[in-house]
Structure formats: C-alpha cells, structure tokens
Amino acid sequence: MQPIIRNIFIGCLSVLGVSALLISCDKTISEPQRVGYTPADVDAKAGSWKTYVLSSPTEVTLAAPMATTSVEYQAELSDLKAKSSTLSREQQEAVMYWGAGAVYRWNEIAREMAARYNVPPASTADGKYPVPDATNPLADPRFPFANPPYTARALAYLSVAQYDALVAAWNYKNTFKRLAPSKVDPTVRAALPVSTLPSYPSEDAVVAMASYTVLKAMFPGEGPFLEAKLAEHRNTRLWAGMNVQSELTAGSDLGGQVAAKMMNRAKTDGMAAANNQALTASMIEAARSRGLQEIWLSQESPARPPMLPNYGAVSTWNFDRATLIKLRPAAPPAINSPEFTKALDELRAINNNQTREQARIANYWADGVGSYTPPGHWHRTAANAAHEANYSEVRMARTLALVGTTLQDAGVCCWDTKFFYYYPRPQQFGLKTSVGLPNFPSYTSGHSTFSAAAAVVLGSIFPDQADEFWAQAVEASNSRIYGLIHYRFDCQAGLDCGKNIGSYAIAKGKADGSGL
C-alpha cells in the first residue's frame, strides 16, 4: 500500500543586508500522511519512569473512577455509543487527524505557531525597534517573536509537560486498571486501534490539556485557536468510541495539574531577563578586555538591538550552571590571525564561485524568519522517527522531551558563548548573504550547536539511524558556511559543543527507567 503524501507549505522571509529588505520564499516538504497505529510496545511500566519537573507521578493526584457496573458509567457508555454511531465527514477527518497521535499532533501545532510568530519587529519612523508586549500579544509587533531561542524553550516546556503528564497518567492507569469502553461493552464501535492499556485517565485528554496550557502561555494571542483544537481533540475521543466522558475529565484534570507546575518553573527560569539590553555594554567591555579587536555590530539600518543577549543565563534542563561554563568553547581565533584569514578566504572563495549544491544546502537549512527555526526542524525529525517506530504516546513524549531539553540547553550554551566573545560576523568584512543575516554575534554557530546536540540524542534513541542523523547535522552546519553566515571555526566549535551538550540528555535517558 502506497503512503498518502501530503504537502507541507512553509513560508519564510529572508532579511538581506543593511537594508533589511524582506523577500518571501516558499518551501514545500512532502511527507507521508500520519495515521493511527497500534504501538509496538504499550510501555506498561512507564508509570515508574523518572520525570523532569514532577518529583514523582503521585505529586499530582487523581480520584478513583466509578465502577464500570455503576449506573453513571453505563449512562456514559450509552452516550458514547450515540456519539460514535454516525459521524459526519468532518468528524471522521478529525478522528483520523488526531488518531495519528496526541503528542505528535500537538507538537506539530506548536511548530506551526512558532513559524507564524517568527517575525522580527520592524523599525518605527524614528529608527527604533518596539519590543513585543506579552500583555497585548496581537498588537504590532505581535508577541512572541518566536526566534530560535524562544522556539527551543517553548518546545522544551511543551514536550516535558507532555512527558511528565503521561508518566503520571500511566501510573494511574495501572492503579485503577479500568478497561477501555469497547472491552467493557463489545457493542461500542472503536474507530481507532485499541491497545491493552487501561483507559482511565485518557492519555489523549492528558496530552491535550497539558499542551493547551503550555502553548497558551507561550503564545497568549492564540487562545481561541488553541481552545478550538482542545475541544476538537477531546471530542474525537468520543466520536471514535475510545473514551467515556469521565476518562476525558480525569485526563484533563491531570494534564492541567502537570502543566501548572511546568509554568511555575517557566516563571523563574530567567527568560524574563533574556532581552536585557542594559547588559550588552558590560559584555562588550569584558570581550575587549580578553583581547577582542573588533566587536560584532548589527548590520541592519537602523541598527537593531541584539537578539536576547542574556538568554545564556536562562536555566538549563540536563546540567547546572557550572557545567555550562565548562562546556563553553575556547576563544575563537584573533582577528587577522592566520586561522581567521584562512576561514575568511574560504568564504570569499564560496562567494565568488558558489555551486548549485552549496546554494541548495544553504537554502534548505536556512530555517530563518517565518520558519519554525532549527529547533523546530529537529523536533519534526524526532517526531517523525518516533512515529515511524510506532512508539507509544509516553515513549513518543520521552523522545521529544530528550530532544527538546537538549535543544534548549544547546541554545542557552550557544547564546552564552556568543555574548561572552561578542565576535564579529563575516558581513563586517565585506561578505553578503542570501539566506538572512542573524542579529547576534558569530561565534559559535547556532545551527551547528542545535543540530549536533539533537543528532547525537536521536542517534542514541535510534542507533540504526545514527549516521543519518549526524550527516544531517554536518550538512546543517556546513549550510552556514555555504550561506556565508559563519566561519568554519564557528561551525566546528558548535558541532563539538553540541555533541557534548547532547551527552547529558543521553545520560539522563539511560537513567530514566525506560530501558533505552
């Protein structure tokens, strides 16, 4: 049977040179249509896996369900039969869409929102760049500006919330052991595969509420859109004959409790001060005191303030601050040193004779304005690999949590390094680029750091694909050289640092009790 192919449209904008000229471009990616499946393993013991924010699965509580022999439950069964007996075409399509997986779909929704919000504020007539306002998110400029660090953090919180909530759900499933409706009453028509897992609470409702809560906090202007998705997702479990109402209510309660704890962490992780522009003067002074001859300067006109100069102080997931400092790469070459000159000459040679393949690679991996950025790119890669492996919901969430946390850790480490060294970009030495000009220092390469970290984590989860993932990371890294965005030493240092960052997520995964 041939897979159904769908086209995913990704719009992007490139910021060119000092004129800040915005040029739209299109990318179309063909992927198989994702459909529901029976997990290769239901991971029945996942209720004992180690969590990230929860101290244990029982830190959140859930009331015992009513007996399946009770009048109340039988009434729910009758209601379920009525709702699942005859479906409209629209309802059938919704069931198929959400049947591909709760974790998979909510992460897809998050990436699409990140792409829509990845638009930097334009300058005003007086040459200033207004800062998006979280209290008025739909005003111009919209909040958030979902740049790579913001997207990495949003996807990390989403994936961790899904994972911790599902571990708690698995714990309570095994505690209460309520059978699925179609196993209690064989006349219930189930439109999707029914696993051997207990049905209370609904894992879909757990994921839906946890995801809705996190994404509404990260994208506050999208409340109505997210509420509609939440309602549709929950309704599909009734339309498909998969859950009675009390299982959905319990799942929503559990997911909401976990998400609230995630947001408590988010409020104190340092992100509120990530755009503190008052710190840049001392950062520049410190870099010069260490011997930097020429600092990075914005190449836009009017000059744009640097993107999130204090993001390097945001809390990490898989290691502490002292480890972050140890992970910081050594200083880049001195300006006009032989190593610097060699790297700059390489870029000039590419500029004069770029091949079609180099241009293709530069554009494919650009992941710039209007895209869901390198973190989103790697989240999609991780989600697809887990889906193709027929992972259970909880193992899918674990995969994305490991990748998501290492991507945020990579962003924090990379931004710490960028603003520690404040190194100038190749554009300050006469080179132009056609793939967008990032508004932050050059050393090290964010693409390289993000990609290496994600690739080594994915390689540890899917060892038969490790070489493929690493080849993608190297290509992503090289794309920044081919696009004349980074010197080779930026990229090599990013790859090396990213591999080290990923090793901490791998160690966490090996100790979480999942068996991988």
pLDDT on residue 207 = 98
Which of the four pLDDT bands, split at 50, 70 and 90, describes residue 169? very high
Average pLDDT over residues 181-201: 96
DSSP 53: S
Residues 12-43 pLDDT 10s? 333 323 333 333 344 444 556 788 899 999 99
pLDDT on residue 34 = 80
pLDDT on residue 35 = 84
Would you say 19 and 123 are in contact if contact means Cβ atoms under 8 Å apart? no
Average pLDDT over residues 118-141: 96
Average pLDDT over residues 411-440: 96
pLDDT on residue 473 = 98
Which of the four pLDDT bands, split at 50, 70 and 90, describes residue 516? confident
pLDDT on residue 58 = 97
Would you say 351 and 432 are in contact if contact means Cβ atoms under 8 Å apart? yes
In degrees, rounded to 5, the angle at the alpha carbon of residue 67 between the alpha carbons of residues 62 and 68 is: 120
Phi/psi for 305 (5° steps) reads -60, 145
3 pLDDT more than 80: no
Average pLDDT over residues 463-477: 98
Which of the four pLDDT bands, split at 50, 70 and 90, describes residue 410? very high
pLDDT on residue 33 = 75
Average pLDDT over residues 151-180: 98
How would DSSP label each residue in 306-368? PS-TTGGGSPPSSS-HHHHHHHSPPPPPPTTSHHHHHHHHHHHHHHHS--HHHHHHHHHT---
- Give CB contacts under 8 A, 24+ apart, made by 138-143: 138/221, 142/117, 142/221, 143/220, 143/221
74 pLDDT more than 90: yes
pLDDT on residue 32 = 67
8 pLDDT more than 60: no
Which of the four pLDDT bands, split at 50, 70 and 90, describes residue 156? very high
Average pLDDT over residues 117-123: 96
Residues in a beta bridge with 29 = 8
pLDDT on residue 158 = 98
pLDDT on residue 31 = 58
Residues 482-494 pLDDT 10s? 999 999 999 999 9
Percentage above 90 pLDDT, the chain: 92
Q: Which domains are present in the chain?
A: 53-267 (1.10.606.20), 273-510 (1.10.606.20)
